[in-house]
Amino acid sequence: MGNRFRRLFVALALAWPGSQCHAVLGPTPVDTNWRVIDSPHFSFNVRPGSFAEQNIARIGEVLEDQYDTTLRVLDIRYSGRVSLFLYNSAADGDMESERAGKAYPDTETVRATSGPPLDSNLFLLLSHESNHVIQQNALGSPGTYFLGEGLPSAVLSERYYPNGTTFLYGWTASHLSQIPALSLLVDDSKWNSYDQQVAYNASASFLAYLLELRGPQLLKQLQPASSVSFTRQFQATYGRSLDEADRDWRAFCASRPR
Amino acid sequence: MRPNVLGKLAVLGVFFAAAAEAQPPSTAAGPPASPPAWSVVAGYESFWLRDIAKAGPPVDASPIAWEGGGPAVVVSYDRGRPGRLHHFEGLFAGAGGFSLETPVRSIPGPADDSEKRFGGRYEYRRYPFRDIWLTGFDIGFGIEGSGDRLILARHFQPSIDLDTALTNFGAAGVLAVRLHRWMRVDLLATWGNGVSIGRATTNHYADIDTTQRGWGGGWQSALQLRAAARVGPRTSLVVSYFNAGEGRLASHDSFTFGRSRFAAGVSYGQ
């Protein structure tokens, strides 16, 4: 009898699906080795004694400026608190690289690697991911990767680092031949087939150009447009075709002093 | 699973184990509330949701869960024979009191965040392996179909509303383990795994109001532990614990969510 019950318990233990979710397809568990530091709009979850914790004053200063900039440039109302989980390294956060991040707008959360150095790339990453949270909650889910990934970098503040239009327009001018037609870039089915640095920078540069030229109200109308309806929605919103705007944007960037 | 739920389960387990050990092995009498049987159980159900950045596996979900809880009622009807069962089930659950649960603290959410769920499920189950290892220990397999509607109301500061309605249809295979060794006590564990497909409508009210609709697919997994004790000729007391997780993968709208329910009620049958 005892052996039979032991076999039963072993069988049940092997079949146990784990707490909350499926053991294979469910989300990975989260560890509790975090220290929380709050700023007016952010909750920074850092590893005790980490590089991020040592530099949290500077990180908070830059991101608070970015938060205000995003609201002002896009003329949106949002006052939620963004929680950032700053990992020591790619291995620590199970990320693809030492400068990688993910945003989870529904839970107002960001995960990002935040090891040294404390440079413009780190702040570009943290600002971009935080903007995902702010923008999606204020404007709704993007209908395309073009808006979803372009807009968070299109509104980067240049108060501390030249990650905004100074970089984007210069980058566009020097990469004109590599940038696919925007009518292709707005197609979600093709987005992942392009070099992701090109896709991200080109979409951000074009959206920054639209913001500078016509302001945020028209741009907001594009946020929900899907790949299927994007070019039609663009024509209806801006009164000209996406291809025409594409040509004007390239000429604008090329004509700027380097 | 929360520690307080584990504690309740442990107490229940001890109670039913003690009751079961006091009973002689079953002879002519059938298990409690044999089919056809109606059951009604009510209890507390917690609900959680985490949005997904990468579908995986491993699924890259937010470290923070939007989590709440509230009442749940499940009505079920079983018919067939002990070895061949048709199980019909209807569910209503509603959750409030939401918070954002981080790994290290809890952040209260807006008071009017809510979740509602209506659903139905049908399962056909057979027990091809009966009285294995010990008398009254059966292993069965089932297939199930389900449909439910999930309604989420979320709010972000200062005055942003996000309403999501998801209609899901699922199909799953079920592994069932049953122990009906005693006259008055019946124990059952089921574990289902399957797929789902659903259509979501998301209304976002902020600076601009938008409506987005889209299909998505995903997985579902559910574990149920159920104990029944006969208290009358046709009536049994039932307690159950239910734990389920689901994933929805869709363009620009992927999330994983789950439920844990502790419920008690009555079953009326033969």
Read off the pLDDT of each residue in B5-31 and give the average, rounded to a whole number: 41
pLDDT at B180: 87
Read off the pLDDT of each residue in A225-252 and give the average, rounded to a whole number: 97
Contact B246, B219 (CB under 8 A): yes
Say if the Cβ atoms of B206 and A137 lie within 8 Å.
yes
Give the whole-angstrom CA distance, residue A22 versus residue B246: 8
Give the whole-angstrom CA distance, residue A15 versus residue B141: 14
Sorted by where each starts, the structural domains of chain B and their CATH numbers stand as 3-268 (2.40.128.90)
Reduced to 3 states (helix: H, G, I; strand: E, B; else coil), residue A248 is: helix
Q: First vs last Cα of chain B: how many Å apart?
A: 35
Query: Residues A103-140: pLDDT tens digits?
Result: 999 999 999 999 999 999 999 999 999 999 999 999 99
Would you state the structure tokens that stand for residue A39, as one six-digit string? 């700023």
Residue type (1 letter), A155 = V
Give the whole-angstrom CA distance, residue B116 versus residue B259: 12
Q: Which of these ranges, A3-7, A221-225, B174-178, has the smallest mean pLDDT?
A: A3-7
Q: First vs last Cα of chain A: how many Å apart?
A: 84
pLDDT at A18 over 60: no
Report the residue of A19, A189, A223 to disrupt the B interface, i.e. the one with the largest count of B CBs within 10 Å. Answer: A19
Would you state the structure tokens that stand for residue A21, as one six-digit string? 């979710």
CA distance A253 to chain B (A): 30
Please report, for chain A, the start and end positions of each structural domain, with discontinuous segments joined by +.
28-140, 142-258
Give the whole-angstrom CA distance, residue B36 versus residue B85: 9
The string of DSSP codes covering B56-69 is -SSBEE-SSEEEEE
Report the residue of B1, B105, B178, B208 to disrupt the A interface, i.e. the one with the largest count of A CBs within 10 Å. Answer: B208
Query: Residues B39-48: pLDDT tens digits?
Result: 999 999 999 9
Would you state the structure tokens that stand for residue A191, as one six-digit string? 């987005």
Size of interface A-B (CB pairs under 8 A): 174
Say if the Cβ atoms of A34 and B158 lie within 8 Å.
no
Query: Residues A145-187: pLDDT tens digits?
Result: 999 999 999 999 999 999 999 999 999 999 999 999 999 999 9
Reduced to 3 states (helix: H, G, I; strand: E, B; else coil), residue B32 is: coil
Average pLDDT, chain A: 91
- Residue of B62, B245, B252 with shortest CB distance to A21: B245
Would you state the structure tokens that stand for residue B225, as one six-digit string? 């532990």
pLDDT at B231: 92
Q: Which of these ranges, B48-57, B83-92, B175-184, has the smallest mean pLDDT?
A: B48-57
pLDDT at A258 over 80: no
Contact A117, A58 (CB under 8 A): no
**A28-140 CATH pick, 1.10.10.10, 3.40.50.1970, 3.40.30.160, 3.30.56.10:** 3.40.30.160
pLDDT at A17: 45
Q: Provide the pLDDT confidence category of residue B98 given band limits of 50, 70 and 90.
A: very high
Q: What is the dihedral of CA A211, A212, A216, A219, to 10 degrees?
A: -30
Query: Residues B149-198: pLDDT tens digits?
Result: 999 999 999 999 999 999 999 999 999 999 988 878 999 999 999 999 99
pLDDT at A24: 58
Portion 154-183 of A in contact with B at CB < 8 A? none
- pTM for the model stands at 0.85
pLDDT at A213 over 90: yes
